[in-house]
C-alpha cells in the first residue's frame, strides 16, 4: 500500500528514467521499508521484495558482491567490508567478465602484479580486450568492485584471484585515478541496470585487498595456497543455484499468470459453429502451449528447492573443510541453470506468442519478461558451456559406474536393473513411478551413447579433445537428459512427501505428469532410439498428455491465481485480476508519451508541407503529382 513502492509506468520511461527510478525504489525498500518496525527480511515482506525485484538495482551488490566477501574473505576482511556493504555505504559488483573473455576464465587478461617494495598490487588491463565489460551496477552505481584478476608475483602467474578495488571517490563519486568506467549502453533487457565497462591502468591497492580465505601473499611475496582452489569458482555456483528461483521460476510464473488469465477472457472464433465465440483457453492448441509451461513453473520450483538445500548442506561441509560434494554440485547447478533457463526462456516466449497481438504490446508485461529471461541463458555461465561442464562430470561418472555403485544425482548410471516400459494404456504412462523410470533410462542411455561414441573415436586414433569437440551436441543432449530426470525425480518425491489436501496433491501430481509427458513427447526420438518406448507407447504418451490438458483446463486460472501476484507486480493489462483487459489496454495506451498532444509537433513539421501540397492537388492547384 506504500505508493513509493508502486511501479511507475516503466514502459513509458526512457532508459535513464528507469535507471533512476530503480535506484530510488531499491534504496527506499532497503533503507526505509526494511528497517521499518514490523518489516522483517523474511516472510511476506521478503516475499514481496523478491517479487518486486524486477525493477530493483544493486542485485549484483546484494546477490553476488556481498556473498563473495563472505566466501573469499578472511574473518578480518569480512569484519571490515561486510558491514559497509550490507549498509550500502559501499556499493560493489562482481567484475570478472572482460571484453575479450567471459566463458574461458583461464583466458582473463586483467593482471594484479605484486609490488613487494610497497606491499601493494598494481592492477592493469594490458589491452582493450582485458577491460572488464558487463558487470551489473558497475557503470554508474558501484564505487567498489570485487575484481577477478590474474595474480602475478615475480613474473609467475598464479591464476584468477579476487581483489577488492575502489573505483570511485566515496564523496564525489568521481572515478579514481587510473580508472575509466561507464555504462555499456542499451541492451535487450535489464534497462534499469547499469552494466558497465572498467579499464584499469596502474591502479594500486594494498596487499590486504587480496581476498585471502583460499590463498594469501606474504609481505615478502611468498604465495600461500590455503584451500581447494576450485572454491574460487564458488560464487558462480551459488548464484547459479539462487538465480533459478529468482530469475527463472518467478518470471515464468508471472508470464503464465498473464497468459492464462488473458486466455480465459479473450474470446476469439468458434469451436461449435452453432455456439458463441469461445475463450481461446478452450482451444486444445492453446492449452498445449500454456499448461506445460505452468507445469514447468512448479517442477522447476521443486527442483530448485532441492538444489538450494543441497548447496546449503554442501556449504556446511565446506566450513568443515570437506569439499567432496563440490564436483556433483557444480555439475548439477551448471546443468540446472542451463537447462531450466533454456526451458524457461522458451516457455515465456511460447506463452507470450499465445496472446496474439496484445502479447506483443509492452502493455501486456510479457515482452519485459521474455527479454529479461533471455539473459539467464547467457549470464552466470553461458548455457552451452554449462551443459558441457555437466556432461564432463556425467562421462566421468559413467566410467566409474562400471566398477562402483554410484549415489546422489547420478545413481541411475549404475542401475543395471531391467528398465523396459510395460505401459499398455495412457493411464499407465501418467503414473509418476513410470515417468521417473523412463527419464532415468533415457538419461543413462544418452550419457552412455555420448561416451561410447567418443571412446570409439579415440580407439580409431582421434585425439580425446577432438572427440570431445565433435561429440559436443550429444554431450549437451546427455546433460539435458540428466537434468530432466533430476527435475522429474525430485518433483515426484517432493509432491509425494508434501503434506497437503488430497485435491491439491492430485493437481500437483497431474502437473508433474504433464511436465514429464510434455518432455517425453518433445524428445520422443531419444525415447524410441534408446528403447525406452515403442512407437505405440509414444502414441499413448501423446494421448496421456492430451488427457491431462483436458483434466487441468477447469483449474487453469485457479492454479495461476495461486502464484499470488498483485496487479502492481504483474504490470500487465492482460493479466490484471479483474480481467478488464480492453479498458486497461486503452487507458495504458492513452498514457503513452506519444499521446501527450493530439498533434505530434516534432513529426508534424515534416508532414505539414505535404499535407498542404496534398490539399492543393485535391483542389486542382500545384504541380501534377504522378501519385
Ligand atoms: C538490492 C535488492 C534487494 C533484494 C535482494 C537481492 C538478493 C538476490 C539474491 C539472489 C539472486 C540471484 C540472481 C542474480 C540475478 C542475476 C544477475 C546476473 C549476474 C551475472 C553475473 C555473471 O555473469 S558473473 C560471470 C559468470 N561467468 C561464468 O560463469 C564463467 C563460466 N566459465 C567458467 O566457470 C569456467 O571458465 C569453466 C568452468 C567453463 C572452465 O573453467 P576451467 O578453469 O577451464 O576448468 P575446466 O578445465 O573446464 O575444469 C577444471 C576442473 O574444475 C572444475 N570446475 C570448473 N568450474 C567449477 C566450479 N564452478 N565449481 C567447482 N568445480 C569447478 C571442473 O569440473 C573440472 O573438474 P575435473 O573434471 O577436472 O575434476
Ligand atoms: C545481462 C547480463 C549480466 C551480466 N552480469 C555480469 C556480471 O555482473 N559480472 C560479470 O563478470 N559478468 C556478467 N555478465 C557476463 C556474462 O557472464 C558473460 O556474458 C557469459 O559468461 C558469457 O561469456 P561471453 O559473453 O564472453 O560469451 P563467450 O564465452 O564468448 O561465448 C560466445 C559463444 O561461444 C560459445 N562457446 C564459448 N565457449 C565454448 C566452449 N568451450 N564450447 C562450446 N561453445 C563455446 C558459447 O556457447 C556462445 O555461444 C553478464 C552478462 C549479461 C548478458
Q: Is 543 a catalytic residue?
A: no
Indicate which ligand has the atom closest to the C-alpha of 101. 2
Rounded distance from Cα 30 to ligand 1 centre (Å) = 28
Secondary structure class of 279 (helix, strand, coil): strand
Asked if 438 and 520 touch (Cβ cutoff 8 Å), the reply is yes
Task: From 314, 305, 342, 349, select the one nearest 479 (Cα to Cα).
Answer: 342
pLDDT at residue 420, rounded to an integer: 81
Please list every protein residue whose CB sits less than 6 Å from any atom of ligand 2.
60, 93-97, 101-103, 134-136, 190, 195, 375, 378-379, 381-382, 384-385, 388
> For the chain, what is the radius of gyration of the CA atoms?
28
DSSP 575-607: T-TT--HHHHHHHHHHTSGGGSSSS-HHHHHHH
Asked if 251 and 372 touch (Cβ cutoff 8 Å), the reply is yes
Asked if 253 and 572 touch (Cβ cutoff 8 Å), the reply is no
Asked if 12 and 593 touch (Cβ cutoff 8 Å), the reply is yes
CA separation for the pair 402, 487 (Å, rounded):
25
Indicate which ligand has the atom closest to the C-alpha of 59. 1
pLDDT at residue 11, rounded to an integer: 84
CA separation for the pair 447, 418 (Å, rounded):
18
Q: Judging by beta carbons within 10 Å of its beta carbon (0-12, 13-18, 19+), is residue 451 exposed, middle or buried? A: buried
Length of the chain: 627
Place of cell 542451463: 338
Asked if 381 and 338 touch (Cβ cutoff 8 Å), the reply is yes
Secondary structure class of 210 (helix, strand, coil): strand
134: left (phi > 0), else alpha (psi -120 to 50), else beta? Answer: left
CA separation for the pair 27, 62 (Å, rounded):
12
pLDDT at residue 622, rounded to an integer: 58
Residue 105 CA: nearest ligand 1 atom is: 36
pLDDT at residue 306, rounded to an integer: 96
Cell of 500: 497437503
pLDDT at residue 496, rounded to an integer: 97
Task: Give the residue whose CA is nearest to atom 9 of ligand 1.
Answer: 63
Helix (H) or strand (E) holding 162: strand 156-166
Partners of 180 in the β-ladder: 199
CA separation for the pair 344, 252 (Å, rounded):
6
Give the residue, out of 98, 106, 379, with the most ligand 2 atoms within 8 A of its beta carbon, to mutate for a pocket test: 379
Rounded distance from Cα 259 to ligand 2 centre (Å) = 31
Q: Long-range contact list for 528-537, CB < 8 A, 24+ apart?
A: 529/445, 530/441, 530/442, 530/445, 530/446, 530/449, 531/420, 531/445, 532/419, 532/421, 532/438, 532/441, 532/442, 532/445, 533/421, 533/438, 537/421, 537/423, 537/429
Angle at 380 between CA 99 and CA 199, to 5 degrees: 25
- Give the DSSP letter of residue 168: B
Asked if 160 and 150 touch (Cβ cutoff 8 Å), the reply is yes
CA separation for the pair 261, 280 (Å, rounded):
11
Instruction: Give average pLDDT by consecutive 10-residue segment, the chain, 627 residues.
Output: 80 92 88 74 73 78 90 95 92 97 97 98 98 97 98 97 98 98 96 96 98 96 90 88 94 98 98 97 98 98 97 92 92 98 98 98 97 97 98 97 93 85 94 97 97 98 98 98 98 97 97 98 96 96 98 98 93 97 97 93 85 68 56
Q: Which of 55, 191, 349, 380 is catalytic?
A: 380
Amino acid at each position: 500500500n506504500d505508493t513509493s513502492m508502486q511501479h511507475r509506468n516503466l514502459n513509458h520511461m526512457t532508459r535513464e528514467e528507469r535507471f533512476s527510478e530503480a535506484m530510488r525504489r531499491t534504496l527506499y525498500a532497503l533503507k526505509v521499508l526494511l528497517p521499518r518496525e514490523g518489516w522483517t527480511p523474511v516472510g511476506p515482506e521478503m516475499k514481496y521484495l523478491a517479487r518486486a525485484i524486477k525493477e530493483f538495482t544493486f542485485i549484483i551488490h546484494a546477490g553476488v558482491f556481498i556473498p563473495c566477501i563472505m566466501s573469499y574473505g578472511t574473518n578480518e576482511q569480512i569484519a571490515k567490508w561486510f558491514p559497509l556493504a550490507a549498509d550500502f555505504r559501499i556499493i560493489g559488483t562482481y567484475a570478472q567478465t572482460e571484453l575479450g573473455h567471459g566463458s574461458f576464465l583461464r583466458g582473463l587478461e586483467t593482471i594484479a602484479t605484486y609490488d613487494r617494495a610497497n606491499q601493494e598490487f598494481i592492477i592493469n588491463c594490458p589491452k582493450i580486450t582485458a577491460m572488464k565489460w558487463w558487470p551489473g551496477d558497475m557503470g554508474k552505481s558501484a564505487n567498489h568492485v570485487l575484481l577477478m584478476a590474474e595474480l602475478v608475483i615475480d613474473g609467475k602467474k598464479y591464476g584468477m584471484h579476487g581483489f577488492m578495488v575502489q573505483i570511485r571517490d566515496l564523496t564525489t563519486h568521481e572515478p579514481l585515478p587510473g580508472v575509466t568506467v561507464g555504462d555499456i549502453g542499451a541492451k535487450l533487457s535489464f534497462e534499469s541496470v547499469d552494466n558497465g565497462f572498467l579499464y584499469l591502468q596502474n591502479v594500486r591497492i594494498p596487499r590486504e585487498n587480496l581476498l585471502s580465505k583460499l590463498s594469501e601473499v606474504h609481505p615478502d611475496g611468498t604465495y600461500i595456497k590455503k584451500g581447494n582452489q576450485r572454491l574460487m569458482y564458488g560464487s558462480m555456483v551459488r548464484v547459479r543455484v539462487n538465480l533459478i528461483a529468482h530469475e527463472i521460476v518467478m518470471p515464468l510464473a508471472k508470464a503464465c499468470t498473464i497468459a492464462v488469465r488473458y486466455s480465459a477472457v479473450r474470446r476469439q472464433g468458434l469451436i461449435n459453429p452453432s455456439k458463441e465465440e469461445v475463450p481461446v483457453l478452450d482451444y486444445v492448441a492453446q492449452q498445449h502451449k500454456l499448461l506445460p509451461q505452468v507445469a514447468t513453473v512448479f517442477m522447476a520450483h521443486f527442483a530448485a528447492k532441492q538444489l538450494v538445500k543441497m548447496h546449503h548442506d554442501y556449504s556446511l561441509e565446506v566450513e568443515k573443510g570437506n569439499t567432496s560434494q563440490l564436483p556433483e554440485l557444480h555439475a548439477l547447478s551448471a546443468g540446472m541453470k542451463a537447462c531450466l533457463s533454456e526451458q524457461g526462456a522458451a516457455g515465456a516466449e511460447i506463452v507470450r506468442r499465445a496472446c496474439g497481438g496484445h502479447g506483443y504490446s509492452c502493455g501486456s508485461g510479457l515482452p519485459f519478461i521474455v527479454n529479461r529471461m533471455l539473459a539467464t541463458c547467457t549470464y552466470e555461465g553461458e548455457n552451452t558451456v554449462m551443459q558441457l561442464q555437466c556432461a564432463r562430470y556425467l562421462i566421468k561418472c559413467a566410467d566409474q559406474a562400471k566398477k562402483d555403485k554410484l549415489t546422489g544425482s547420478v545413481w541411475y548410471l549404475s542401475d543395471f536393473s531391467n528398465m523396459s516400459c510395460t505401459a499398455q494404456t495412457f493411464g499407465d504412462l501418467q503414473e509418476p513411478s513410470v515417468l521417473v523410470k523412463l527419464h532415468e533410462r533415457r538419461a543413462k542411455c544418452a550419457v552412455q551413447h555420448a561416451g561410447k561414441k567418443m571412446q570409439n573415436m579415440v580407439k580409431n586414433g582421434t585425439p580425446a579433445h577432438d572427440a570431445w569437440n565433435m561429440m559436443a551436441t550429444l554431450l549437451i543432449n546427455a546433460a539435458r537428459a540428466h537434468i530432466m530426470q533430476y527435475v522429474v525425480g525430485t518433483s515426484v518425491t517432493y509432491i509425494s512427501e508434501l503434506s497437503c489436501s488430497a485435491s491439491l496433491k492430485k493437481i500437483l501430481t497431474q502437473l508433474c505428469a504433464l511436465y514429464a509427458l510434455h518432455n517425453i513427447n518433445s524428445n520422443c526420438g531419444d525415447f524410441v532410439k534408446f528403447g525406452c518406448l515403442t512407437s505405440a507407447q509414444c502414441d499413448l504418451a501423446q494421448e496421456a498428455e492430451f488427457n491431462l490438458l483436458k483434466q487441468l483446463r477447469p483449474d487453469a486460472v485457479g492454479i495461476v491465481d495461486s502464484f499470488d501476484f498483485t496487479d502492481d507486480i504483474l504490470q500487465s493489462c492482460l493479466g490484471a485480476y479483474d480481467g478488464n483487459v480492453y479498458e486497461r489496454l486503452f487507458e495504458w495506451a492513452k498514457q503513452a508519451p506519444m499521446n501527450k498532444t493530439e498533434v505530434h509537433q516534432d513529426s508534424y513539421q515534416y508532414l505539414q508541407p505535404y499535407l498542404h501540397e496534398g490539399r492543393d492537388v485535391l483542389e486542382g492547384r500545384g504541380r501534377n503529382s504522378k501519385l
